[in-house]
Structure 1
Amino acid sequence: MKFRTLRARSAARLRPAAPRLALLALAAGSACSALSQTAPAGGELLAQNLRAPSLAETVVAATRSPQPLTDLVADISVVDRETIESSGATGLADLLARLPGVEFARNGGPGTTTSVYLRGAESRFTAVFIDGVRVDSQATGGAPWESIPLGLIDRIEVLRGPAGAVYGSDALGGVVQIFTKRGEKGTAPYVGAGVGSHGTAKVEAGISGASGTVDYALGLERENSTGFNARTVSTQNPDRDSYRSTAGHARVGVQLNAAHRLEGTLMVNDTNSGYDNGLGKDDRSLHQMHALGLNWSAQWSSAYKTRLSITDSRDEYETRPSPYLSDTRLRGYYFQNEWRQGPHLVTAALERREDRLENAPIDAKRSQDAVALGYGYNAAGHTVQLNVRHDSDSEFGGKTTGSVAYGYAITPQWRATASVGTGFRAPTLYHRFSEYGVATLRPESSRNAEVALRYAQGSSTFSATLFRNRLTNLISFAGPGTCVSDYGCYANTARAEYQGVTFAGSHRMGDVTLHGSVDLQRPRDLDTGKQLARRAKRHATLGADTRWAGWTLGAEVQASARRFDTVANTNVLGGYTLLNLYASTRIARDTTLLARIDNVADKDYQLARTYATAGRTVYVGIKWAPQ
């Protein structure tokens, strides 16, 4: 698997309620030992590359401008298409949880309410983009992780740490950039199918290519599952909670001339999943999502280029027969200017975001206008990145964020970095205009500082990142106040701190590649001192894979210490350890067979209290893709 790390909802969802092997082995072994002493350990899988990243490989998550990995100071991981396909992951969150610093929680099986935590930060504190289109819910806050189809994704970039000075609202914990496939010269069709445990069946097909000035990529995916009993408590139906998803994407580009390119992108998904709403009450969650973008990029000179984007996204969530409907729509306009001269990169951007929420009786909207400036320098072993941004919100006024980052190449293999930055999240429209909302809510704000040491030589990598992110003005549900409800109101009453250290590494030893990560963290409420819900203080991964007789064989161990299901730390979610096995081989020139067993020991564990997990699962798939 090729995870590359930069060098060395139920119906009630809206109700308030090293460098070498020795270092790698030492880090992973110590963590797993510590985990096993607290509970039946468990956690989130790996996040390091099986091969050194190409020096020419570029990422956009750090600055929204393409930059080589070696020019960045930010803490970034990259997941490519080969890794996605070989992972056998059932969803996007499952895959991301194999990266350093990432955990997730889900209320049942695929298609149900899912939260992703970057470095312990709340799910709503991660800004998520699909081909540059921001996706978010103005009801629950945060991206609809359960409705983003993993099978249509070509590449993922994960930035850990606040990025408000680049992205504006939402990016207090990090950024996830998701990209679909772009057509290349020739024609490349594919067809795939697979079956698995719990009556899972999946089919996919697509085609991509380029001819003359036009490139294109189209894909469709359909997945069904009879599911499993996600609520094993006496107050819920002892039945299977089924799931089905239909998704598609399209990406078409036209190279108008050597300097100008137009591109349109679209991803859609329609999911229908079951959940228990009491004895004799089986409801369906209907979730529709789309992300639509139109982009024009222009290279005006060897030094100066621009990019103009118009984007539109929608997140509609409905339950039946229990009546509930929430509809979030986001419209975005982004104009970025880049000037490169030698080791210098200067960026200036204008951005407008328009949000709307329909959630009866709510029908509300707001807008944010922003200006952002950035400066980057990379030469003689020194890297500097400076960013500042001002957002003006139609509801709460202005907010300025900034960041300063510095990196120094101690040797060709070792590099040290340090950064500080701020971020914010505007109150959701539900926070503001529901019966629990108040007009005086302020943005949730963060201040982050981190230092890192990274090593990379050949196939060996190691990194250690120490971070602390403090949040203020957190919105929580408080007692009665100035809102309409007598039950209680939202208020800026909470504070939190996410601090910890992440170790990650990989090393090739003969025909075997080892990789692993360890997270030691303290996600806590600063007012009560208690551990934040559904996040562990320790989680780790360790994996190995090799090639033998034409097969790629691999094993992964995921481990996590105990967590609490509530902010009061009253309900314990036990720690766990999972073993996953996978294998793939070419059975014909253009045909690949993939098999995977997750949770080999059939470990019984929970990611959310009273919600079961799938147990041992098996998946076998076949894919035809002419080379």
Structure 2
Amino acid sequence: MVFSKRLLNIIALLLFLQWLDGVAPHKGFAESIDDTRVANSNASKVVDEELDALMELDLEDLLVTVASKQDEKLSDAPGIITVITAKDIKNYGANNLMDLLSRLPNVYGYGTAAGMNSVTSIRGQTLGFQDVHVLFLLNGRPMRENVAGGLNIPIYSTLPLNAIERIEIIRGPGSALYGTGAFSGVVNIILKNSESEEANAFQAGYGSFDTKTAAGIVSGKKDDWDYMVSGNVADAEGWRFSMTDENNVNNTTSLNQKTHGMVAHASKNGFTFTGASLYDARQNLGSTPNWPISHLYEIRRSMFDLQYEQELTQNWKATWNFTYNLMDLVNSTDTDFLSENMHVEGAVRGKLFDRVNLLAGGVYKRLGDDPGVGRTFWVNEHSLYAQADYDVFKSLNLLVGLQLNKVRKVDYDLSPRFAAVWHITPELGVKTLYSKAFRSPTAGELKVFTASFIGNESLRPETIKTFDAQIFYKKSNLFTALTYYDSRQKDTIELVSSGAAVTPRNGEKVHYQGVEWEWKLKPEREWEFSGSLSYQVNENDSGSPDVGRISNFMAKAGVLYQSPQGYSVGLFNSHFSDAQRINSARRVNPEAEAYNLLTLNASMDVPKKMIPGGWPDVRLNLYVDNLLDEDIYFPEVIRGIINTIPIHSGIGAFGQIVLKF
């Protein structure tokens, strides 16, 4: 019943917005839909042809914004960046954002007893169960919460994939522009607009584990407004979760889950609004992995941003942003959390002497946190940042940047960055980068005191310094890049046992090194091959290796065939080597051994002669997850008393019908 009500609400909203766009008032509904289908079909065909032509002209010179807060070619951007496009999502399929991120070079997604699909590790630089080293942005604006620093489950599970134009992922620090939390990576999710492909569609699906889904997207232009609204709803009984707990009790249950989410984007005359409302309710064991399951988590993440861009002169402009984030976690048996923050930012950008680009800005943050203690703690933070890049030659660009931060537990801290991007030839180039990032302690780490967690108010921010060197080669149908990185982490915030509870402390230094090779090849219009190989090692001052438990070696590869007859088949396999064992843990569950996560995505555009008159274009889709039906386990990193827990379902198939207006 709840699922049906949410679905009806979404359908009603989408139909109302479609009516606002001027469809309903002019003709009968069926006739209007038919005309709209023909017009949009022709427009989509033109867009598809333009995108295909762009792909053929330059496969990987896409525009990105995440590295410098401005549009620039991927090959020019001062960062180690990979892009997931809307076409990638359509062709290879996914159930959620975590599925997409886990296909990236040197990226590992996992869950804990406190929540499945809850942590993203980039370059193995995650030490435990908190998702605090990767910063998420929505259209370039931060999606933050201050209590745990990374209760991102609703983002992973609920953010509508049909609303995504592209995802820009930096592997490496980003604090020089984005402040705390941009530690080992930054994920910038760019939403569609009215000119995007499949920006007016409705879809419904059913699949394994009694999974029911529905989603819709509406976009358009009206009275100088360009808008997009997308929503989804899902209800699943959940996959069978089986394990032996700390009390040597073995049990099996289904982890049921209910989600709904909505994102929106609108712009007019220099003003831009971006918003998201995401909700996830699920069963979990909790921070203590013992049966029976008694925890029901309800997590709400909301974010909105209002931006005004002002032209100052021909070469200079100012940008003003007000961003608000809210996180509300309701736990049926344990501590409830509430976090809200207000973020005011102003920046100016311009050009000097034709060769120098300048960016300078300031941020004021008002943070309010209730880490389950019944009162809200308010903290003020502020920062200043500046960045300049200089075209030494047409083929060589140098960049220097700096952020000055005033955050909790620190008077002031500097986060610098330096970069050089050299195009040796039009096809061959080199990037060298150095940057520093930091992560402030969260309110939870400082002030939560429960039976299972003891806060530490003397914590200092942890920092990381990273050197990257990349050589890349690009042609019209090929992109490949080889990257080496070296990272040094200091004042590492780690969890240590304190009786029956765990407590955070500043621990040892950690040294990370690794290599990453990625590629994408499109030898013909119908075929595409992509993938990556990565290897990373790390150790702390005591000489203990692989302190993050993440797989050292990852091999990921996808192959796509797109038929001119309107169907496509995409296969993607991700191989992960063994995870590092917790030596002191009891061996009560299967070990976290190497595995292959193979997915299949098949889609078909239904021939128009088979579609009833007045119907929109129709696509049928089948997505199969874990095609090899692997048993996938990961170390139990919260308490480390038992060795592992299962983190992924067995094989699952999910069918979907998409109506494209």
TM-score (norm 1): 0.85
Q: Where in structure 2 are the equivalents of 1:203-602 lying within 5 Å? A: 203-233=214-244, 235=249, 237-255=251-269, 261-276=270-285, 278-320=290-332, 322-341=333-352, 342-361=354-373, 363-378=376-391, 379-435=393-449, 436-478=454-496, 489-510=503-524, 511-548=526-563, 549-564=565-580, 566=582, 572-588=591-607, 590-602=617-629
Shift of 1:282: 3.6
Distance 1:78 1:559 in 2: 20
Kindly indicate whether the alpha-carbon contact (under 8 Å) linking 2:123 and 2:171 is maintained by their aligned counterparts in 1: yes
Kindly indicate whether the alpha-carbon contact (under 8 Å) linking 1:113 and 1:146 is maintained by their aligned counterparts in 2: no
- 1:284/1:488 CA distance change after superposition, 3 Å: closer
Kindly indicate whether the alpha-carbon contact (under 8 Å) linking 2:599 and 2:625 is maintained by their aligned counterparts in 1: yes
Shift of 1:181: 2.2
The Cα offsets for residues 566-621 of structure 1, whole Å up to 9 and x where unpaired, read as: 48688741011233222112114522221122222211122452225211111111
| AA in 2 matched with 1:493 | G
Q: Where in structure 2 are the equivalents of 1:16-95 lying within 5 Å? A: 53=58, 57-95=62-100
Shift of 1:288: 0.7
Distance 1:268 1:565 in 2: 38
Distance 2:583 2:146 in 1: 23
| AA in 1 matched with 2:654 | Y
Kindly indicate whether the alpha-carbon contact (under 8 Å) linking 1:232 and 1:612 is maintained by their aligned counterparts in 2: no
Task: State the superposition RMSD in angstroms.
Answer: 2.7
Kindly indicate whether the alpha-carbon contact (under 8 Å) linking 1:135 and 1:330 is maintained by their aligned counterparts in 2: no
List gaps (5 residues or longer) in structure 1: 1-48, 256-260
Distance 2:135 2:64 in 1: 16
Kindly indicate whether the alpha-carbon contact (under 8 Å) linking 2:94 and 2:623 is maintained by their aligned counterparts in 1: no
**Which stretch has the larger CA shift, 416-425 or 146-155?**
146-155
Kindly indicate whether the alpha-carbon contact (under 8 Å) linking 1:133 and 1:313 is maintained by their aligned counterparts in 2: no
Kindly indicate whether the alpha-carbon contact (under 8 Å) linking 1:135 and 1:143 is maintained by their aligned counterparts in 2: no
Shift of 1:466: 0.1
Distance 1:198 1:536 in 2: 28
- 1:330/1:84 CA distance change after superposition, 3 Å: farther
Shift of 1:108: 7.3
| AA in 2 matched with 1:613 | H
Distance 1:504 1:70 in 2: 14
**Structure with larger RCO (C-alpha < 8 A, sep 6+):** 1
Kindly indicate whether the alpha-carbon contact (under 8 Å) linking 2:261 and 2:278 is maintained by their aligned counterparts in 1: yes
Kindly indicate whether the alpha-carbon contact (under 8 Å) linking 1:229 and 1:612 is maintained by their aligned counterparts in 2: no
Distance 2:628 2:214 in 1: 28
**Secondary structure in 1 aligned to 2:459?**
coil
The Cα offsets for residues 232-257 of structure 1, whole Å up to 9 and x where unpaired, read as: 337364221211101112222112xx
Kindly indicate whether the alpha-carbon contact (under 8 Å) linking 2:329 and 2:338 is maintained by their aligned counterparts in 1: yes
| AA in 2 matched with 1:539 | M
| AA in 1 matched with 2:118 | T
Give 1:124's aligned residue.
132
Kindly indicate whether the alpha-carbon contact (under 8 Å) linking 2:69 and 2:140 is maintained by their aligned counterparts in 1: no
- 1:573/1:145 CA distance change after superposition, 3 Å: same
**Secondary structure in 2 aligned to 1:564?**
coil
Kindly indicate whether the alpha-carbon contact (under 8 Å) linking 1:199 and 1:226 is maintained by their aligned counterparts in 2: yes
Kindly indicate whether the alpha-carbon contact (under 8 Å) linking 1:92 and 1:146 is maintained by their aligned counterparts in 2: no
Distance 1:245 1:596 in 2: 19
Shift of 1:374: 0.3
Shift of 1:547: 2.2
- 1:566/1:491 CA distance change after superposition, 3 Å: same
- 1:146/1:77 CA distance change after superposition, 3 Å: same
Distance 2:199 2:464 in 1: 45
**Secondary structure in 2 aligned to 1:324?**
coil
Kindly indicate whether the alpha-carbon contact (under 8 Å) linking 2:173 and 2:184 is maintained by their aligned counterparts in 1: yes
The Cα offsets for residues 252-277 of structure 1, whole Å up to 9 and x where unpaired, read as: 2112xxxxx11112110111112346
**Which stretch has the larger CA shift, 397-406 or 529-538?**
529-538
- 1:381/1:267 CA distance change after superposition, 3 Å: same
**Secondary structure in 2 aligned to 1:166?**
helix
List gaps (5 residues or longer) in structure 2: 1-53, 609-616, 636-643
Kindly indicate whether the alpha-carbon contact (under 8 Å) linking 2:556 and 2:575 is maintained by their aligned counterparts in 1: yes
**Secondary structure in 2 aligned to 1:563?**
coil
Give 1:32's aligned residue.
none
Q: Which has the higher helix share?
A: 2
Shift of 1:210: 0.9
Kindly indicate whether the alpha-carbon contact (under 8 Å) linking 2:309 and 2:318 is maintained by their aligned counterparts in 1: yes
- 1:457/1:340 CA distance change after superposition, 3 Å: same
Kindly indicate whether the alpha-carbon contact (under 8 Å) linking 2:176 and 2:416 is maintained by their aligned counterparts in 1: yes
- 1:525/1:92 CA distance change after superposition, 3 Å: farther
The Cα offsets for residues 31-84 of structure 1, whole Å up to 9 and x where unpaired, read as: xxxxxxxxxxxxxxxxxx986756874211102222232321311111122222
The Cα offsets for residues 517-556 of structure 1, whole Å up to 9 and x where unpaired, read as: 0011113333342212341110111121112343212222
Distance 2:105 2:624 in 1: 22
